Structure 1
């Protein structure tokens, strides 16, 4: 018995509508057609999926407030880092450049979950 492939990551959010605006409109992730018996939504990312689960009491607690990449986070490759940076700024989302000097940045979704975006 062994792990054969990655399936999905579940992310807790306190406000599903605000999170959907971030993941659907800002990041433009396509929704996956999967039904749920509780508040949440699935997104398709290549062959994998992300599952947002609403929990009204969810509070993110970053361990390292100075370097966001040293906290639990999810990372995506993007085809236009400057465009996504502009969208994030226009939406009022916080930004932090990667400390490594590579073409990457970190942001936070409406609940403070950290998201890394890297140029392909």
Structure 2
């Protein structure tokens, strides 16, 4: 029997919640969960299927400069999408750089405005 059966959320440190929401909510279309309590610092909870991404506006102990060129060689969050070409077009239109997965899978890597790596994998 497995004691852990699902990921509930992933937390990402951001410098500016509104700027991060411009990426996750406005560009990628994630819905904000209004149930986030006052935790004493700014942030937001975003719905991603049955899981969440928690944006924490806190001082970042990690460097945001000089991260590995390819997000697959860095800590990253991976999520599935139905249409990778549509996501790539959306990122291109927004001027957001991305790289296709080196594995040959239908996937790409991009970074949010705080250099957090995000992998998007096509699963129709």
Superposition TM-score tier, normalisation by shorter sequence: 0.7 to 0.9
Are the counterparts in 2 of residues 76 and 117 from structure 1 also a CA contact under 8 Å? yes
* Match of residue 101 from structure 2: 98
TM-score by length of 2: 0.85
Say whether residues 1:14 and 2:15 are aligned partners: yes
Greater than 4 Å deviation, 4+ residue runs: none
> How many Å apart are 1:89 and its aligned residue?
1.1
Partners of 2:57 and 2:4 lie apart in 1 by 28
Q: Secondary structure at the match of 1:76?
A: strand
Q: Is the 8 A contact 1:105 1:117 kept in 2?
A: yes
Instruction: Answer yes or no: is the 8 Å Cα contact 1:8–1:49 preserved in 2.
Output: yes
- Residue in structure 1 matched with residue 79 of structure 2 by the alignment: 76
TM-score (normalised: structure 1): 0.88
- Asked if 1:42 is matched to 2:45, the reply is yes
The corresponding residue for 1:60 is 64
Structure 2 unaligned spans of 5+: none
Q: Residue deviations 1:10-66, cap 9 Å, x none?
A: 1000011111010001111111122332200001111111100112x4343565x24
Deviation of the 1:4 alpha carbon: 4.4
- 2:120 and 2:5 map into 1 onto residues whose CA distance is 26
SS of 1:84 mapped into structure 2: helix
User: C-alpha separation between the residues in 2 aligned to 1:9 and 1:33?
Assistant: 17
Contact 1:67–1:99 (CA<8 Å) still a contact in 2? no
The 1-side partners of 2:110 and 2:119 are apart by 7
